[in-house]
């Protein structure tokens, strides 16, 4: 069983966050972990619309906002957290200039083992210029991050039959496979490992991510499958029912298509923590999957905190 003692759930009081809260509560109950619920009050000091520039008693204003935040937080708990152990719930309102920075700082200071949060899955220019808090937390957190995309018909947090773990044979894959085995064991689910052979005709700068449907030679598919099996059995974790699959094409598109076509309930994927210009141009595979996945995504790093 994973060593999870502290789970952090950041909330913005949205319906998306409410759906993620159910997963946080389920995992906290299962692992008997403390659940930390936080909300970030963020003000831009350069924003002329900031109430700090118009109201004289800013201290009183902040107290009122914090009070409202706590009331809404309690309302969410009453609606979504039934029968949870109140003595292991910590609620706090954070104050700063960046929600992601506040979440990451809290996670570091409180020895958080797992962050569970909702993601609105923004794309295009809105994503590029406005950014996404969940993406930033995934990129820089030192612990695994479990993201839940808002759904019109969300499934129960314990309703998971198939767990998918994409494998790229990097140093990160082994950590992701071990976490995927633990997740499959937790939910009594089947585990499927997927390797996508990059299409050599595909340009990494192709923003449309078009599917080419090229067939992979049988001997090459068998070789990759054999390597996946070796990696799986070399990775620590409980024994679970496992399936291996090799496809060719654009990595992100194939992972998402496989998840949709095979009714995947959870994706466990390694994130390489790409930053700087390379990340701006290409983006991270894990972050792109999080943005568009039809199911929750658990991201794992080979560095930072280990739960195994």
State the pLDDT confidence band at 128, using cuts at 50, 70 and 90. very low
* Claim to verify: residue 178 and residue 147 sit in the same structural domain: no
* Claim to verify: residue 142 and residue 165 sit in the same structural domain: no
pTM of the entire structure? 0.83
Looking at per-residue pLDDT, the higher value among 279 and 19 belongs to 19
What pLDDT score was predicted for residue 10? Answer: 93
* Claim to verify: residue 256 and residue 187 sit in the same structural domain: yes
* Claim to verify: residue 36 and residue 178 sit in the same structural domain: no
Last residue of a domain, one of 104, 124, 152: 152
Instruction: Assess whether pLDDT exceeds 90 at residue 120.
Output: no
* Claim to verify: residue 167 and residue 145 sit in the same structural domain: no
Domains in the chain, number? 2
Looking at per-residue pLDDT, the higher value among 304 and 218 belongs to 218
% of the chain residues with pLDDT over 70: 72
* Claim to verify: residue 185 and residue 258 sit in the same structural domain: yes
Last residue of a domain, one of 152, 168, 201: 152
* Claim to verify: residue 17 and residue 102 sit in the same structural domain: yes
Residue-wise pLDDT for 33-71, tens only, equals 999 999 888 765 445 545 444 445 556 656 666 676 677
* Claim to verify: residue 85 and residue 26 sit in the same structural domain: yes
* Claim to verify: residue 308 and residue 225 sit in the same structural domain: yes
Residue-wise pLDDT for 186-229, tens only, equals 999 999 999 998 875 544 445 445 555 556 677 788 898 999 99
Q: Out of 30-39, 75-84, 161-170, pick the least confident.
A: 75-84
* 3-class SS letters over the chain: CCCCCEEEEECCCCHHHHHHHHHHHHHHHHHCCEEEEEEEEECCCCCCCCHHHCCCCHHHHHHHHHHHHHHHHHHHHHHHCCCCCHHHEEEEEEEECCHHHHHHHHHHHCCCCEEEEEECCCCHHHHHHHCCHHHHHHHHCCCCEEEEECCCCCCCCCCCCEEEEECCCCCCHHHHHHHHHHHHHHCCCEEEEEEEEECCCCCCCCCCCCCCCCCCCHHHHHHHHHHHHHHHHHCCCCCCCEEEEEEEECHHHHHHHHHHHCCCCEEEEECCCCCHHHHHHHCCHHHHHHHHCCCCEEEECCCCCCCC
* Claim to verify: residue 129 and residue 171 sit in the same structural domain: no
Which CATH number characterizes residue 168's domain?
A: 3.40.50.620
* Claim to verify: residue 121 and residue 256 sit in the same structural domain: no
As a whole number, mean pLDDT of residues 245-251 equals: 90
Last residue of a domain, one of 152, 187, 204: 152
The domain in which residue 165 lies consists of 160-308
What pLDDT score was predicted for residue 131? Answer: 42
* Claim to verify: residue 214 and residue 293 sit in the same structural domain: yes
What pLDDT score was predicted for residue 215? Answer: 66
């Amino acid at each position: 069983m994973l060593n999870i003692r502290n789970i952090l759930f950041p909330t913005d009081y949205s319906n998306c966050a409410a759906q993620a809260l159910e997963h946080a509560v389920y995992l906290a109950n299962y692992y008997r972990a403390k659940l930390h619920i936080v909300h970030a009050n963020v003000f831009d000091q350069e924003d002329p619309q900031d109430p700090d520039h118009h109201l004289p008693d800013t201290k009183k204003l902040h107290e009122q906002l914090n009070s409202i935040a706590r009331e809404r937080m309690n309302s969410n708990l009453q609606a979504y957290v039934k029968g949870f152990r109140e003595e292991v719930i910590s609620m706090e309102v954070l104050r700063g200039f960046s929600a992601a920075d506040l979440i990451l700082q809290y996670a570091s200071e409180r020895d958080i083992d797992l962050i569970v949060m909702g993601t609105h899955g923004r794309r295009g220019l809105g994503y590029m210029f406005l950014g996404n808090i969940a993406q930033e937390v995934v990129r820089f957190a030192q612990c695994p991050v479990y993201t839940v995309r808002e759904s019109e018909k969300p499934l129960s947090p314990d309703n998971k039959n198939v767990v998918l773990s994409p494998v790229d044979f990097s140093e990160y894959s082994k950590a992701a496979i071990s976490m995927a085995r633990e997740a499959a064991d937790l939910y009594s689910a089947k585990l499927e490992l997927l390797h996508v052979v990059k299409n050599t005709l595909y340009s990494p700068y192709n923003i449309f991510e078009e599917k080419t449907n090229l067939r992979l030679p049988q001997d090459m598919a068998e070789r990759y499958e054999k390597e996946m099996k070796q990696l799986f059995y070399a990775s620590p974790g409980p024994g679970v029912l496992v399936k291996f699959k090799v496809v060719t094409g654009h990595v992100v598109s194939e992972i998402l298509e496989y998840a949709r076509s095979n009714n995947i309930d959870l994706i466990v994927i390694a994130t390489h923590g790409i930053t700087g210009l390379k990340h701006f141009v290409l983006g991270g595979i894990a972050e792109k999957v999080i943005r568009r996945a039809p199911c929750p995504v658990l991201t794992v790093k080979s560095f930072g905190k280990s739960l195994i």
